[in-house]
Chains A and B, each alone.
Chain A
């Protein structure tokens, strides 16, 4: 299946550098805040209130976090469903980033639950309300986390030399890979459906009604590709490896056309719903809407030519802007464009922010530790400078 010259190998090297130490400290701070939160409750740590029961722990950690973790999904879709084998070396690192992104997104839900000790109710037949979107999201994300650990387990099995298990798993892996494509398609669209239910509480710029699931799914797949470009570029420069631009250029082309389709859909939706007028009002919502749209439109211009997509710099900037755009789409929908009534407002507390920062730090730290010790990144010559 895999090209043997590109067979993944552990990077090696020390796990202790000033950078990893910083990440560790940030993660530890988040840990301390979370212990405090679990003992003294949400009110002691967050700025959440009755009007804003969801803050950045849901809007960023879960909704954006899981979208950023769509690299594994997008690559699996491309490689296994559309049978584009040339991207295979990108699958495993993408999967690793997704693995932690999703696991932490799933765990973050527990941080945000007021009565967190009841979290298992949603999985328990008598308690679960099977007609709710939230149920779909919760069960789907949990199932995907399990599926992803199984999908990624060959990396561990290879390292531990468990060849028998690896061979047996290989026979079943197609099933989990299929699930690994199905499940995110379901819940990434359902994350958009959550906003459908909010109805008029969402600003018209983001209340696309029944198109919301489509918009969220499209951007999730697009973000998946953007994250793969972002993360491949970062690990190449960070670990001083050769840039993977030759593989990323054709990937960027797929991403580009997806982006073009998305921008067209988004604008047409706004026009047909008659919501575009609100974008010209002097409101915070309109301000953030334009920034969000700029993040999508700028890459649409800068990555238009094949030549531009061959440039590692432009690719990286385009990917970063798309990630920012996808993040803003979600933050705007869930927080900026959320209008729950006169007088209510929300801005995350420092402690809330530090938990989110700590989670991101933990994700990066885990990624570094695993690629150094387990076969994830394709074996390649060191960068020629």
Chain B
């Protein structure tokens, strides 16, 4: 079944490849990588390839509120040579404040036109938190508050995706300042789900891994629905596990080998960063398995030697101080640890002496026996001679 898929996909892939001016191989690699990120079975890459080639590109309206555009930047700045092309080819990005050429009323008109033309079919992506204090006057675009714009755009969307921690749960803008008496953030920032009053797909992270967003979009394109999500709206393929579970430094945690301060011997040897405040044990994300920046798993904060700050986790990122140790979720350290200093080998005079004695005795015994046998040989030869 999947073979016919691949054959069909091969022909069409050539078309897409020429359209994008990339290798056919590069295009198929992208499809396979996306299928893997999604945790789909083999053969899915062919389905994805087919969908990307044949399906009508879904219209995407991308709203920016209280944010730094880091999420968009991470998508566009990804070093993967074809990523930016594919983003624009996989989806029809009809409204994106930082990327679109249009400005002012023209831009707003484009948004209205796209919403009307694709009513009930477009994907709404929200980047940034929504301020709620004083009726949300802290963030306005074209005279409309963030709250109004979000509600208007979400009403006719086929799906709503909140990208980044800000849109997912408020993120950094929602952090309560460390001032005596403060009980909320200055602008009363909230996530998308809170404003709409219904669950949405969230891709938290600061910024989130671009592939987690892309894979979610491609899943929608291929299967016509969004991937499975957990109770916080996070796709399970990316946020189903704690970072700590697949961390490359996990063996050091289990063995009790910790970096105790930046630049100490343990830190230089790549030991576990838990005691430096790594939030990996309480943060759900796939950073430890897919890495950042398209250069493989060696490139993500923990691999670079900095503890995870738990940017994707509400109540951890931007809330807990960086050096505060994480609360361990679902695992406890062993009762006792092996020593940190490795014993590189002992010498034993007694055994060397014993070995020498055994070797000596064996050599002596063998020599004596051989000598006796030699005598027997001689007597036998003499008898024969007689």
Contacts and interface: CB of A to CB of B under 8 A. Distances in A.
15 contacts: A47-B345, A47-B348, A49-B342, A49-B344, A313-B371, A313-B372, A316-B366, A316-B370, A344-B345, A346-B345, A347-B345, A347-B346, A347-B348, A353-B351, A353-B354
Interface string B342-386: 111111101110110010000000100111111011000000000
A233 B371 CA distance: 13
Contacts of B352: 347
Contacts of B376: 243, 312-313
A311 B384 CA distance: 14
B370 A49 contact: no
A99 to B, nearest CB: 23
Contacts of A311: 373-374, 377
Contacts of A344: 344-345
Nearest to B371: A313
Contact of B372 (A52, A237, A357): A237
Given A47-B346, A243-B376, 20 more contacts: A47-B348, A49-B344, A50-B342, A50-B344, A51-B344, A234-B369, A237-B369, A237-B372, A237-B373, A311-B377, A313-B373, A314-B374, A316-B370, A343-B344, A345-B344, A347-B352, A348-B355, A349-B346, A353-B358, A354-B354
A312 B373 contact: yes
Given A312-B376, A313-B377, A317-B370, A49 B358 contact: no
B235 to A, nearest CB: 31
A98 B214 CA distance: 64
Interface in B331-346: 342-346
B348 A49 contact: no
B377 to A, nearest CB: 5
Contacts of B345: 47, 49, 51-52, 344-347
A260 B43 CA distance: 56
Contacts of A313: 370-374, 376-377
A285 B376 CA distance: 39
Contacts of A15: none
Contacts of B351: 347-350, 352-353
B354 A350 contact: yes
Nearest to A47: B346
A320 interface: yes
Contact of B373 (A50, A233, A345, A350): A233
Contacts of A52: 345
A243 B346 CA distance: 46
A349 B348 CA distance: 6
A314 B374 CA distance: 8
**Interface pairs A-B: 4 shortest CB-CB:** A313-B374, A313-B373, A345-B345, A350-B351
Interface string A310-350: 01111011001000000000000000000000011111111
A316 B371 CA distance: 10
A49 B338 CA distance: 12
Nearest to B383: A384
Interface string A56-95: 0000000000000000000000000000000000000000
Contacts of A233: 369, 373
A320 B377 contact: no
Contacts of A47: 345-346, 348
Contacts of A348: 348, 351, 355
A47 B376 CA distance: 45
B362 to A, nearest CB: 9
Residue in B344, B350, B372, B376 with the greatest tally of chain A CB atoms within 10 Å:
B344
A345 B350 CA distance: 17
A51 B346 CA distance: 12
A233 B348 CA distance: 35
Nearest to B375: A313
Among B343, B351, B352, B355, the one with the most A-chain Cβ atoms within 10 Å of its Cβ is B351
A233 B354 CA distance: 27
Interface in A271-317: 311-314, 316-317
A47 B350 CA distance: 13
Nearest to B352: A347
B20 to A, nearest CB: 40
A49 B348 CA distance: 14
Contacts of A347: 345-348, 351-352
Contacts of B371: 313
A199 B371 CA distance: 44
B337 to A, nearest CB: 14
Given A312-B373, A313-B371, A357-B358, A320 B366 contact: yes
A188 B356 CA distance: 29
B346 A350 contact: no
Interface string A350-384: 10111001000000000000000000000000000
Interface in B47-73: none
Contacts of A316: 366, 369-370, 373
Most buried by A among B342, B345, B366, B371: B345
A350 B350 contact: yes
Interface string B128-139: 000000000000
Contacts of A354: 354
Nearest to B348: A349
B366 A350 contact: no
A313 B345 CA distance: 41
Contacts of B354: 350, 353-354
Contacts of A352: 351
Nearest to A48: B345
Given A237-B372, A316-B369, A350 B348 contact: yes
A311 B355 CA distance: 31
Contacts of B344: 49-51, 343-345
A375 B371 CA distance: 31
A320 B376 CA distance: 18
Contacts of B348: 47, 347-350
Interface string A219-239: 000000000000001100100
Interface string B307-343: 0000000000000000000000000000000000011
Contacts of B372: 237, 313
Contacts of A357: 358
B373 to A, nearest CB: 4
A353 B355 contact: yes
Nearest to B353: A350
B191 to A, nearest CB: 44
A143 B355 CA distance: 33
A340 to B, nearest CB: 10
